[in-house]
Each structure stands twice: as structure tokens, then as C-alpha cells.
Amino acid sequence: MGAGSKLFGAVVAVAVFLAVIGVLLLLIDNAPKRGRERIQAFLFLLPALIMLAIGLVVPVVRTTILSLSNDAGHFIGLGNFRWIWQTDEARKALGNTIIWVAVAPIAATVIGLGYAVAIDKARGEPFWKALVFLPTGISGVGAGVIWSLMYAQPLGNPGHQRQLGLVNQLLSLVGLGPLNFPISTPSNTFLIIVVMIWIQAGFATVILSAAIKGVPAELTEAAKIDGANAWQAFRRVTVPAIRPTLTAVFVIVAIATLKVFDIVRTMYQNQGSADVLANLMFDQYATSSPGNNGANHSAALALTIFILVLPFMAYQIVQMKRRA
């Protein structure tokens, strides 16, 4: 298909969609007098309800059923979850995902907070903010290529003095060996986590910077007049004042971390067991064939991600309630 006709197809699809919405609005305008409000409410919500049912509710039910069955369609209870626990690669992926979520959200939040404070009211603050915010707009694939270059080593001569990747070059300057990325474990997991932190810290900076600016200046000033130094004022006044935002940022990054796929897919080439749940979930799906229960294992891995997300969500809701 030519580029023109494909783009034309997309535009036509949008036009058809908008026409359908137009008809819907016509129906809303001409709803019968009897029970008008209810009919209109129903019509406003109808497209969203259909899409949520087809795109989310039904698939979640199907994945749950899949995760509790084998590929012959028989119910096998928690067999697929037992598979996760008993298979080396799956257990490794679960362990790595837990390492990810223990490191990345805290690091991104702390770096974002530190940077937001450091540049707060500085000359050229928008510029400094933009520098760190930029990676937020870069795809996991793009970031993966960028950082693979940072970790690169000369082919066939990995320990050479003259390194190809900047990180390895800097390490060799201080007498430390090359990283041997991505073969060497467990450093490979942490080196990929760096990329996640690199993407998410800018998001944390922007949100936390807005929150810091919302803290009344009188509060920190009063603390200083009372004899607190800058660190104490920050620790005792600013941080408690922005705690709800800190929690929100932490939870958002944590949930994104549990689902991380693109960075790992790009950087980890099935070497040295740096796998995570979402990537293994994809591999199990992609290599599924009759008899190997791949689709069922994949469903169980997806459900595991969901189960890991739940406590973070619960924590966030509890925090929100406490505020309200």
C-alpha cells in the first residue's frame, strides 16, 4: 500500500467515526420527551461503555480464564502460577521485576526531587528543567538504543583500552573494567534500570517542581527564622507539605516500572538473564504453540503484573483518603 492511500484511509476512518458521533448527537438532540434525561445520559456514555467492555472488561475476563487453564481449555487451578514459581527463567523474571520496582521508583523520585530543589528559582530554570524533562518524550526503544551506545564495547576486543561506550571509557579511566553489557549479571539488570530512571526522573522533576512552588514561602521562612538551616527547613517543612505529590509520583513510576517492556525488549537480547515479567510474558505468547501452554503462561504472567500493581494502587488510595 502506498503512503498516500494509507494516510487517506486513516483520515477517512476518522471522518466516518466523527459522522457516527454526529448521528449520536442528533439522537441525543431528538431524544423522546419521556425519560429524556436517562436516554440522553445513556447515549453520551454508550460509546465509552462499549469500548471499555470490548477493550478491557472482556479481555481481562478472558486472560483470567486463560491463566487458570491449560491450552486444551481445561481448568487447572493455579498450575500456570506454579509454573512461574518452578521455572528458572520465570522466577528470575519475577525476581528482576521486584528489583526494578525496588530501585527505579525511589531513584526517579529522589533524583526528581533533588533536581527540582536544586534548580528552583535558579536563573534559566525552564532550560534546566527542559534538559531533564526531554527523555520523558523519548520512546523506550529510542532510549534503549541511546543507552546501548553508552554501554557499547569494541566487538571481538571487549577489554580494549579504547572503549566505544562513554560509560565504559569513563570506567576504564578510573581503572575499572568494562561492563560487559548485556552479558554480565546482575549488573545488566541495573544498567537497564538506569534507562528507566533516566526517562522517569524528568516527569518527577516537573510534577515535584510545581508542588514545591505551591508551598507557601512564609512556611520555610518561618522555619529559618526559628533557626532551621536550609536542609532542616527542606526536610521538616517542604517535604511534608508535598508528601501527597511525592506519593503520587512514586506510585505512578512504580506502576510504569512493573509494566516495563520496551526498554528491556530493546536492550536485553536474551543474554545473561535480565528478563522481566512483561518481556517474558510477550516471549511466552510469541513462542506459544499447541501443547506448550505458552498462551496460558503468558496470561498468568500478565495477571502476576496486575497483582503486583494492586498494593501500589491501594497505597495511593489510602493516602488520598487520608488527605480528604
Q: Which of residues 39-78 bind other proteins (CB under 8 A)?
A: 40-45, 47-49, 51-52, 54-60, 62-63, 66
CB 274 to other proteins: min, Å = 15
Among 220, 257, 293, 296, binds other proteins (CB under 8 A): 220
Binding mask 121-150 for other proteins (x = CB under 8 A): xxxx---x-xxxxxxxxxxxxx-xxxxxxx
Name which of 99 and 219 has its Cβ closer to other proteins: 219
Among 101, 107, 192, 299, binds other proteins (CB under 8 A): 299
Binding segment for other proteins (CB under 8 A), chosen from 82-90, 101-109, 179-187, 253-261, is: 253-261
Among 234, 236, 243, 319, binds other proteins (CB under 8 A): 234
**259 binds other proteins, rule: CB under 8 A:** yes
Name which of 104 and 299 has its Cβ closer to other proteins: 299
Among 189, 245, 257, 293, binds other proteins (CB under 8 A): 245
Binding segment for other proteins (CB under 8 A), chosen from 75-83, 86-94, 98-106, 242-250, is: 242-250
Among 19, 38, 78, 91, binds other proteins (CB under 8 A): 38
**Phi, psi dihedral angles at 216 (to 5 degrees):** -60, 130
Name which of 133 and 189 has its Cβ closer to other proteins: 133
CB 99 to other proteins: min, Å = 19
Are 135 and 202 a contacting pair, CB within 8 Å? Answer: yes
User: What CA–CA distance (Å, rounded) separates 95 from 310?
Assistant: 17
- Angle, CA of 220, 226 and 228, to the nearest 5°: 65
Binding segment for other proteins (CB under 8 A), chosen from 78-86, 98-106, 180-188, 247-255, is: 247-255
**102 binds other proteins, rule: CB under 8 A:** no
**261 binds other proteins, rule: CB under 8 A:** yes
Binding segment for other proteins (CB under 8 A), chosen from 3-11, 82-90, 101-109, 177-185, is: 3-11
Residues 146-205 that bind other proteins (CB under 8 A): 146-150, 154-155, 162-166, 169, 198, 201-203
User: What CA–CA distance (Å, rounded) separates 95 from 103?
Assistant: 12
